[in-house]
């Protein structure tokens, strides 16, 4: 048995200036910038969200801009296998997570649990 749920909405930004992108989205969404350079590599920024809300991340990318979901889980292998059984395919393992593609063509990531406690809307799978 494992758990999973939406962890983050990730804005993939094709931009050389992620701080400027974070400032735009901060003002557009009414959320302060929590971190303009989350990992110190200039690739990730984060807007402030509530404890029970998904994270809002900005990611500097080379591909066309889009938004994707991160699904967090307490068992990465089990969740990836569950999603594959539903028709998703593995694209690449990056750092600590899987990039996957849904049968609809949408890309998403399956990541390890991001917070100490899951939010109120977590799913439990057998």
pLDDT digits (tens, 9 = 90+) for 109-123: 999 998 888 877 789
pTM of the model as a whole? 0.84
66 beta partners? 12
pLDDT digits (tens, 9 = 90+) for 55-73: 999 999 999 999 999 999 9
Judged against a pLDDT cut of 80, whether residue 90 lies above it is answered with yes
Alpha-carbon gap, residue 21 to 14, rounded angstroms:
9
Q: DSSP assignment of the chain, as one string? A: -EEEEEEEEEEEE--S-HHHHHHHHHHHHT--EEESSTTSSSSEEEE---TTS-EEEEEE-SS--EEEEEEEES-HHHHHHHHHHTT-EEEEEETTEEEEE-TTS-EEEEEE--SSS--TT-EEE-
Domains of the chain: 2-115 (3.10.180.10)
């Amino acid at each position: 048995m494992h758990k999973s749920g939406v962890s983050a909405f990730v804005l993939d930004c094709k931009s050389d200036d992620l701080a400027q992108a974070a400032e735009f989205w901060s003002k557009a969404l009414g959320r302060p910038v929590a971190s303009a350079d989350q990992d110190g590599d200039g690739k990730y920024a984060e807007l402030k969200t509530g404890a029970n809300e998904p994270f809002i991340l900005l990611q500097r990318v080379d591909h066309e801009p889009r938004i994707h979901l991160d699904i967090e889980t307490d068992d990465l292998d089990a969740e990836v296998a569950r999603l594959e059984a539903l028709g998703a395919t593995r694209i690449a393992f990056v750092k600590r997570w899987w990039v996957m593609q849904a049968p609809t063509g949408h890309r998403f990531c399956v990541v390890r649990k991001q917070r100490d406690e899951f939010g109120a809307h977590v799913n439990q799978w057998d």
